[in-house]
Structures are given as structure tokens and as C-alpha cells.
């Protein structure tokens, strides 16, 4: 049990070192199927996705209740769209985890 935990820790440490060495190398992760280390954990913890999504959606809601111009609205639509996608992904992941536990 301890050996498995140590091996897992060493594997994660190795992945983190690889990411640190190549984080500024633009072609390293493209097309290789490797996901950068900081992004791997987001799927495991959907609450982080939800927080990021809400932080992207809430400014749009605030703007809608104030006097706005068309340019302001357009500037907030794209981040809000990404926020909605992240929110959907978080909800879907939470439901999958709940279904998997049962």
C-alpha cells in the first residue's frame, strides 16, 4: 500500500517536472495527446470548473442590469459562452461521479 502511494507520488512528481521543463515550449503538447499538468486535475474536481464558469458568467449578468452599449455586451458574450460550456462540463462530471458511486 505504501509502495503504491510512493510510486504514484513519484509518477506525479515526474509529470510535474516534465511540465515545468516544457511549459513555454508551444509545440510540446500539441498533437501529442499529453495534457499539461495543471489542466489534468480540473476534470477530477468539477467544483473548480464550476467556480471558473461562474466567474465568467456573473459579469455578463451584472452588465445586463446596467446601462450598456452593444460593444460592451459583445465583449462579454464570448467569455460567458465559454463559462456556460465549463458549467455544463462540471454538471456532467458531477452526475457521472454520482452515477459511478451508486
38 — pLDDT class (breaks 50, 70, 90): low
Phi, psi of 36 (to 5 degrees): -55, 145
Q: Which triple of cell numbers denotes residue 17?
A: 517536472
pLDDT, the chain, mean: 78
Residue 22's CB: how many other CB atoms inside 10 A?
14
Q: Which triple of cell numbers denotes residue 94?
A: 458531477
Average pLDDT over residues 5-26: 81
Closest CA to 34 of 16, 10, 9: 16
Q: What is the pTM of this model?
A: 0.54
Residue 57's CB: how many other CB atoms inside 10 A?
19
Amino acid at each position: 500500500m505504501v509502495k503504491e502511494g510512493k510510486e504514484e507520488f513519484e509518477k506525479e512528481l515526474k509529470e510535474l517536472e516534465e511540465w515545468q521543463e516544457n511549459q513555454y515550449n508551444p509545440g510540446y503538447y500539441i498533437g501529442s495527446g499529453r495534457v499539461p499538468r495543471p489542466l489534468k486535475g480540473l476534470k477530477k474536481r468539477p467544483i473548480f470548473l464550476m467556480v471558473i464558469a461562474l466567474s465568467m458568467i456573473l459579469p455578463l449578468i451584472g452588465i445586463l442590469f446596467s446601462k450598456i452599449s452593444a460593444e460592451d455586451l459583445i465583449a462579454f458574450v464570448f467569455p460567458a459562452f465559454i463559462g456556460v460550456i465549463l458549467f455544463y462540463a462540471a454538471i456532467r462530471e458531477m452526475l457521472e461521479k454520482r452515477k459511478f458511486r451508486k
